[in-house]
Structure 1
Amino acid sequence: MPKMFSESAAKYQRITLNGPSMGTRWSATLDADDSLDINAFQQDLAAAVDQVDLQISPWKPDSDLMRVNRAPVDAWVEVPAELLEVLACALDVHRQSAGAFNPCVGGLVNAWGFGAQSDAPDANAIRIARQSQPLAAHACLELDSNAVKVRKQAPLQLDLCGIAKGYAVDRMTQVLQKHGVRHALAALDGELCAVGGQSCGVPWSVALESPDLERRAVHGVIELEDLAVATSGDYRRYLEVGGARLAHTMDPRRWAPVNNGVASVTVLAPNCMQADAWATALLVAGSDEGLAMAQRMGMDVLFLLRRGESLIELGLGRFGQAANLKA
């Protein structure tokens, strides 16, 4: 048996590729055989991530998302099929999360200093954003899947940062599968997706980051095989104003940054777009409402809650027992 294992493993070479995009770096770790054209493969990976950025970024004035934001109310706007797919998923999670996930928070994001327009909160802009922020996004944004068009039915500013990176990882997995790669781990920031397991027959081991404000540390390890994971938290991107720390994720129901004692939420899902959106939604929903929501939907979720200087774990599904996290 050991000889058979070594002969099988000898077919593959461990390769790690990475590149810049979306203000961070994408990476792909794979066990590749001799048939893979590495140069073409790397170019396709980079192109897939960059295309998502060009279509969805609120930081690029000429992105397709910003074309929709600039369009007048009631005007149909042609968009790429990929953007329509992301918007459809965003509206679906918006409905199922009772508004905790809301793609129409662009005005709030900018007003609080987390967007491309400002790096500090603006009280007047916050007041205006509160007055114009639509609570029911699905009632204010119409999608035409046949014509591949979008129409705003109220003044709104879309922001898809809570789902875009997960979607970019899904696009990377499509490239992996297109090139016949059967053992890989695709990643962009805190969003990851495993294609199969490692060629040696074991799952991919992924570190779950501790929500530490001062340093990067590992809280535990998750094993992935044909599965995606995403984490949203309050500890990486924030502003300090008057001694208060403001997390970058918006709570659209409070018209303000999330502030509910949840340090991070990690979600497992079949694809990374769903994992990313739900991690954001549950972070906003908070521990009580979020756990009830996740339990109702049968999700695999881990909440890390701040209680003074300590962290409390609350998990469901695969995270339901502490043994499921290898520290």
Structure 2
Amino acid sequence: MLSGTANSHRPARWLFFAALVYAALLPLLSACGGGAQDLRLEGRTMGTSWHITVPGGAADEGALQAAIDAELEAINDSMSTWLEDSEISRFNRLPAGEGMAVSPRFAEVLEAALAIGAASAGAYDVTVAPLVDLWGFGADGPRDGIPDPVDLAQTRARVGQEKLDWYPGSRRLAKRAALAVNFSSIAKGYAVDRVAAILEAEGFADYLVEIGGEMRVAGLSPRGDAWRVAVERPEAGTRAVALGIELSDRAIATSGDYRNFFTVDGERYSHLIDPRNGAPVTHDVVSVTVVDESCMVADGWATALAVLGREAALEVAAEAGLAVYLLAREGEGFEEYSSAAFAPYLAADGEGADGQAQG
């Protein structure tokens, strides 16, 4: 039996849900109680943008910006597969049978990824990188056609977190096969948490932190109430906001299959790769959103559940007590499902939500 319910009784305009849209949220916050006294900072990291809003925040903006930039640069230097000298790139170049000591940042993300991998029965696997590259979604860029079956079989043999040897006490990571790890599905969430920690260390109790669509909020918004987070429709080529939920002291992350894909002979291939069979997912799930105290955890679980598919995702969400909202294709439209832990957020949704884009 499903651990969630279809919410087909809600208005159709609420049946479209996917990645978080800070760009749509920002003017709404400004129009609903924010002011010039609010602290706003932004920048670039991990190939995307970051933004923070601190209602009524008073700080040395230059020093705070520098601290945030330094932390994000350190995370990128550790976890970016695009940087040849990054920590993760150096590990990935190691031959089978060798290992290296890793930084505390690397260790924290690795342990979270391994835990999600185990809890999802392998639907999430931090060593999936070779398959992502093989299907043309990695650093080498798109490929022509689908992989050769022999290449696919050989690449699958290099994937599996059970081929990693992790020694927490010494923070040493070793590999038993010529595999590669990739934190792209969890690093932005971790970075959000780290920026939030910087703000809290500065004494800020109210804030919004967003990196590439992953978000964490605390305390009150510029209006003096809960933060109203906008989310967008899961349709390629659009940025329309279709749902608003109220959050405080929570993080939220979304994973979907509707923006990064390619088509061959009429067949659609998503960037979401199932490590268990080595191929892009083909089920009906369009997007999965997770709310959690940790943005890193929400980020990783959103990907894991998107790979699992509707029934398995909802069962896992119920077992783990995860607040999950997913959207599945149903004919020409979508059907929405949610776990019991997500119900309070849906209850706050309604007409006139200031997180909804007006268009």
Normalised by the length of structure 2, the TM-score is: 0.82
SS in 2 for 1:73: coil
1:9-66 Cα deviation digits (max 9, x unpaired):
99992122111111110111111443x1111111111222222222111222221111
1:201-231 Cα deviation digits (max 9, x unpaired):
3111111111011211112012111100000
> In structure 2, do the counterparts of structure 1 residues 14 and 168 end up closer, same or farther at CA, with 3 Å as the change threshold?
same
> In structure 2, do the counterparts of structure 1 residues 130 and 174 end up closer, same or farther at CA, with 3 Å as the change threshold?
farther
- Counterpart of 2:44 in structure 1 is 20
The residue type equivalent to 1:262 in the other structure is: V
Sequence identity (%)? 36
SS in 1 for 2:298: helix
- Counterpart of 2:186 in structure 1 is 163
Cα distance in structure 2, aligned partners of 1:88 and 1:223: 30
Alignment of 1:75-114 (within 5 A): 75-114=98-137
Deviation, 1:126, is: 6.4
> In structure 2, do the counterparts of structure 1 residues 240 and 59 end up closer, same or farther at CA, with 3 Å as the change threshold?
farther
| Correspondence 1:299 to 2:322 | yes
| Correspondence 1:315 to 2:341 | no
Give yes or no for contact 1:14–1:30 (8 Å, CA) kept in 2.
yes
4+ runs deviating over 6 angstroms? 9-12
Structure with bigger RCO (C-alpha 8 Å, 6+ apart): 2
**Of 294, 299, 308, which residue of structure 2 is paired with 1:271?**
294
- Unaligned residue ranges in structure 2 (runs of 5+): 1-32, 351-355
> In structure 2, do the counterparts of structure 1 residues 135 and 75 end up closer, same or farther at CA, with 3 Å as the change threshold?
closer
Deviation, 1:276, is: 0.4
Aligned length: 318
The residue type equivalent to 1:15 in the other structure is: L
Q: Which range moved further: 231-240 or 131-140?
A: 131-140
Deviation, 1:197, is: 2.2
SS in 2 for 1:19: strand
> In structure 2, do the counterparts of structure 1 residues 174 and 314 end up closer, same or farther at CA, with 3 Å as the change threshold?
same
The residue type equivalent to 2:230 in the other structure is: A
- Counterpart of 2:303 in structure 1 is 280
1:149-182 Cα deviation digits (max 9, x unpaired):
2111222111111111111111111111122211
> In structure 2, do the counterparts of structure 1 residues 286 and 99 end up closer, same or farther at CA, with 3 Å as the change threshold?
same
Cα distance in structure 2, aligned partners of 1:10 and 1:152: 50
- Unaligned residue ranges in structure 1 (runs of 5+): 1-8
SS in 2 for 1:229: strand
> In structure 2, do the counterparts of structure 1 residues 207 and 108 end up closer, same or farther at CA, with 3 Å as the change threshold?
same
Cα distance in structure 1, aligned partners of 2:200 and 2:210: 15
Alignment of 1:70-219 (within 5 A): 70-120=93-143, 123=146, 127-133=150-156, 137-198=160-221, 200-219=223-242
Give yes or no for contact 2:158–2:179 (8 Å, CA) kept in 1.
no
